[in-house]
Amino acid sequence: ETGVTQSPTHLIKTRGQQVTLRCSSQSGHNTVSWYQQALGQGPQFIFQYYREEENGRGNFPPRFSGLQFPNYSSELNVNALELDDSALYLCASSLKGQAYGYTFGSGTRLTVV
């Protein structure tokens, strides 16, 4: 059983640029959620994807967008990067309708300069 893998592990971008982060789900999972974890904070829910459609969204602006592919992998895209976007971005996969069993990846550390 493969876990959740995220790429890249680290990334440095300049303010105003765009970034794409990638996530491969755990085998057998059909739902992907993205979280932003700022330094010293808990993870904040960005959005969730199920069947290639957004299935819930947290309090994040539209410049945060995502995709889910038929193999359940996912991308997080952030446009017009701001310094406050610097954070650890976590991807978690799960089965829709299941209250437990979220499996998290190790995250992508994004630094915006």
Partner 1 sequence: AQSVTQLDSQVPVFEEAPVELRCNYSSSVSVYLFWYVQYPNQGLQLLLKYLSGSTLVKGINGFEAEFNKSQTSFHLRKPSVHISDTAEYFCAVSALSGGSYIPTFGRGTSLIVHP
What sign does the dihedral 44-63-82-4 (CA atoms) show?
A: positive
Q: Cα(1)–Cα(91) distance, rounded to whole angstroms?
A: 17
Residue from 43, 68, 86, 93 binding partner 1 (CB under 8 A): 43
Residues 53-112 contacting partner 1, CB under 8 A: 55-56, 90, 92, 94, 96-100, 102, 104-107, 109
- Residue length of the chain: 113
Residue from 24, 25, 26, 33 binding partner 1 (CB under 8 A): 33
Among left, alpha and beta (phi > 0; psi -120 to 50; other), residue 62 is alpha
Min CB(55)–partner 1 separation in Å:
6
The DSSP bridge pattern shows strands 64-68 and 74-78 to be: antiparallel
Note the residues at the interface with partner 1 (CB under 8 A).
Answer: 4, 31, 33, 35, 40-45, 48, 50, 55-56, 90, 92, 94, 96-100, 102, 104-107, 109
